[in-house]
């Protein structure tokens, strides 16, 4: 039986993501790029302007330049944020299949950098569609299962990073039921964006 999902409107999901705890490894299923853009742009803008977090964005269906253009239109000092390391935007192919594609290490580095800079923490937005486009669904499952639902760290070195693995609904729906169930079970919270208001119910592993 597939576990319960978190189903809610874009605005509700955005609030839940903002309230997510550092250390969470969460899943987000989105219906289209317009809705995803609304969510990540609102989140990134609020976090950067408040100097709260470092942000890493791994994009699949929008180019890096497109993401920059979207954020620049929000009157963000994009070049400044990228120059000081507050914002890193990468093509997901480079992030997952490049020569320096150790994302678990990167999460720890971001967490440490955020703490050293006096930030609350960091957030990673990772579009997993690259695995579907490259026909590497088996590698996708191996990667997701290798990442714990919650990064606990330790008392002296906590993992102050939350990770949102993003799936276009068409990519997610192409997976067999057993793989969908496995993905739900290996994330701390599972968010599904709907285009109507639905009461939210949390699923924890």
Cα torsion angle, 34, 36, 37, 38, sign = positive
pTM of the entire predicted model = 0.86
Residues of the chain with pLDDT under 50: 1-3, 99, 197-205
Q: Write down all domains in the chain, each with its CATH number in brackets.
A: 6-193 (3.40.50.300)
- Counts for the chain of helices (H) and strands (E), in that order: 10, 7
Predicted local distance difference test score (pLDDT) of residue 4: 53
Predicted local distance difference test score (pLDDT) of residue 2: 46
Predicted local distance difference test score (pLDDT) of residue 98: 55
Helices (H), 5-121: 10-19, 33-49, 64-72, 78-83, 92-97, 103-116
**Bridge partners of residue 127, in order along the sequence:** 166
Predicted local distance difference test score (pLDDT) of residue 204: 37
Predicted local distance difference test score (pLDDT) of residue 43: 97
Predicted local distance difference test score (pLDDT) of residue 109: 81
- DSSP string computed for 154-179: BTTB---EEEEEEEEHHHHHTS-HHH
Predicted local distance difference test score (pLDDT) of residue 151: 83
- List, for residues 8-59, the tens digit of each pLDDT value: 999 999 999 999 999 999 999 999 999 999 999 999 999 999 998 999 999 9
The Cα 165–Cα 29 span in angstroms is: 8
């Amino acid at each position: 039986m597939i576990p319960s999902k978190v189903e809610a409107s874009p605005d509700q999901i955005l609030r839940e993501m903002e309230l997510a705890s550092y250390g969470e490894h969460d899943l987000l299923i989105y219906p289209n790029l317009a809705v995803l853009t609304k969510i990540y742009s609102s989140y990134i803008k609020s976090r950067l302007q408040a100097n709260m977090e470092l942000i890493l964005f791994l994009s699949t269906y929008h180019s890096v330049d497109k993401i920059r253009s979207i954020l620049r239109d929000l009157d963000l000092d994009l070049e400044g944020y990228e120059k000081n390391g507050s914002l890193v935007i990468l093509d997901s192919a480079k992030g997952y299949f490049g020569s320096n594609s150790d994302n678990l290490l990167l999460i720890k580095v971001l967490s440490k950098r955020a703490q050293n800079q006096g930030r609350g923490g960091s957030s990673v937005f990772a579009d997993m569609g690259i695995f579907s486009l490259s026909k590497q669904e088996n590698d996708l499952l191996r990667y997701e299962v290798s990442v714990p639902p919650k990064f606990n760290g330790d008392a002296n070195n906590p993992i102050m990073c939350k990770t949102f693995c993003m799936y276009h609904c068409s990519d997610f729906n192409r997976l067999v039921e057993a793989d969908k169930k496995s993905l739900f079970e290996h994330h701390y919270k599972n968010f599904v964006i709907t285009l109507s208001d639905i009461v939210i119910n949390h699923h924890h592993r």
